[in-house]
Structure formats: structure tokens, C-alpha cells
């Protein structure tokens, strides 16, 4: 199986460096165009199944990439839940919550919050998706449209990375394909999208 997985197109909040988490902001014009370009890249790929986060920015991207196709939505593919950080500016969070902010980026294995998810919880959630739709599937190609941090979680699982090294991978550009192969119970990374220039979650 080949797994094509991508982050949603650019949103209004992405552009102004505002944290989204499990809140949502719409695709902007650039984000819509990004998704259209990815549709062209995907037009000769026959996806056996198409999966999307149920958050609108991912689902809208997926609908542009694969118009008139059946899309299976799953909350398991949502972005990490960052609690009250959602809809805040990164610079503001760095000032108002420096301890948790520092844990998030430098000690992810110790990051935890009562109003959201830890990285352990995020990775367990993504593993549940793989258990449902990947590990026992005989599909040839699948598409997954998800989110920046969730895609890092996918790489963490695929590359068997310890959570303390979670940020070994970083947020990838919007609407660019990452590609992995799953064969004989083993993941092989075939392509990583270029890195994003800012931290958007």
C-alpha cells in the first residue's frame, strides 16, 4: 500500500500565525489554489479510499483534491487539541504560558494539559486510525488529508521515533504530498513534503 498524506491548504489563521488546534478557520484563496494544484498532481492516482479529518479546513481541502469522490471522515485525524491556546497568537502564548510552551517544543514527553491532549494521546489516536484503516488493508493507494502536528505524529509512528524526539520531524508545507509505503507490516518513507517556514498548529 502507498499512503499519500497531506496537510490541509493554507487558512486565514495560518497566514497570521494563529493557533488552530481543533478550532477551525476557512481556507483562504491561496489555500484553495494549493488544493487545486494538488488535485492536478493526484489526477492519475487511483485512490482505493480517501480519508480526511472531520475539521472543515481538512475536509474542504480533500473535497477539492478529490471532487465527487466518497470521503471517509474521522475525528482520529484531527489536529492536536491544544485547549485554551486555540485561536491565540504564538507570541502571546510564549509570553503568557512560557512553562507549558517550553515543554511543548523542548520536552514533548513531559508536555501535558488538562484542557487538551498530550503527545502520547495524539499518537495513540493516530495509531487507532492506522489499526482501523491501514494495518489490515489490502488497498493499493490511499489518501489522507490531515493537519501539521498530526502528520508529525504519523511520521513518529512510521519511523518508530521516541516521543522525546517528536520534533525531529517538523510541520510540513500545506497541500504537499508526503508518501509512505506499508508492506509486510513495515512502513517505508518515500517522500516528505518540504518544511513549513513557521509553526502552525
CATH number of the domain that 164 lies in?
3.40.50.1240
Contact present, 6 and 178 (Cβ < 8 Å) = yes
Looking at the DSSP bridge assignments, the partners of residue 188 are 181
Asked, for residue 22, whether it belongs to a domain, the answer is: no
Asked if residue 198 has pLDDT above 80, the reply is no
Do residues 104 and 88 touch, judged by C-beta distance below 8 A? no
The domain tally of the chain equals 1
Task: Kindly state the percentage of the chain with pLDDT values over 90.
Answer: 96
- Is residue 200 one of the residues assigned to a domain? no
Q: Mark out the alpha helices in 72-147 (DSSP H runs).
A: 90-96, 98-106, 119-133
Sign of the CA dihedral with 79 first, then 82, 86, and 92 last? negative
**pLDDT of amino acid 201:** 54
The number of angstroms, rounded, from the C-alpha of 41 to the middle of its chain's C-alpha atoms is 19
Residue numbers of the domain that contains 149: 27-191
In 10 A of CB 170, how many CB atoms? 14
Please check whether residue 19 lies inside any domain of the structure.
no
Give the pLDDT confidence score for residue 88 in this predicted structure: 96
Q: Which residue has the higher pLDDT, 197 or 58?
A: 58
Give the residue numbers of the binding site: 7-14, 57
Q: What is the pTM of this model?
A: 0.96
Instruction: Return the pLDDT at 110.
Output: 98
199: pLDDT strictly greater than 60: no
In a domain, 130, yes or no: yes
State the Rg of the chain over Cα.
16
Q: Is residue 9 part of a domain?
A: no
Q: Tell me if 164 is assigned to some domain.
A: yes
Mean pLDDT across the chain: 96
Average confidence (pLDDT) over 152-174: 97
Is residue 65 exposed (0-12), middle (13-18) or buried (19+ Cβ within 10 Å)? buried
Extract the annotated binding site for substrate: 7-14, 57
Segment 44-103, tens digit of pLDDT: 999 999 999 999 999 999 999 999 999 999 999 999 999 999 999 989 999 999 999 999
Amino acid at each position: 500500500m502507498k499512503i499519500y498524506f497531506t496537510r490541509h491548504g493554507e487558512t486565514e489563521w495560518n497566514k497570521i500565525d494563529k493557533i488552530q488546534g481543533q478550532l477551525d478557520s476557512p481556507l483562504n484563496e491561496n489555500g484553495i489554489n494549493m488544493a487545486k494544484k494538488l488535485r492536478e498532481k493526484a489526477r492519475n492516482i487511483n485512490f482505493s479510499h480517501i480519508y480526511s479529518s472531520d475539521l472543515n479546513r481538512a475536509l474542504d481541502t480533500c473535497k477539492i483534491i478529490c471532487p465527487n469522490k466518497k470521503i471517509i471522515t474521522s475525528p482520529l485525524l484531527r489536529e492536536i487539541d491544544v485547549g485554551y491556546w486555540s485561536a491565540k497568537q504564538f507570541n502571546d502564548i510564549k509570553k503568557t504560558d512560557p512553562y507549558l510552551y517550553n515543554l511543548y517544543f523542548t520536552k514533548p514527553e513531559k508536555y501535558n494539559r488538562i484542557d487538551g491532549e498530550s503527545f502520547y494521546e495524539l499518537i495513540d489516536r493516530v495509531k487507532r486510525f492506522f489499526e482501523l484503516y491501514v494495518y489490515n488493508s489490502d488497498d493499493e493507494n490511499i489518501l489522507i488529508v490531515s493537519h501539521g502536528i498530526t502528520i508529525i505524529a504519523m511520521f513518529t509512528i512510521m519511523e518508530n521515533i521516541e516521543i522525546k524526539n517528536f520534533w525531529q520531524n517538523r510541520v510540513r508545507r500545506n497541500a504537499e504530498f508526503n508518501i509512505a509505503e506499508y508492506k509486510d507490516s513495515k512502513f517505508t518513507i518515500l517522500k516528505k513534503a518540504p518544511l513549513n517556514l513557521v509553526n502552525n498548529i
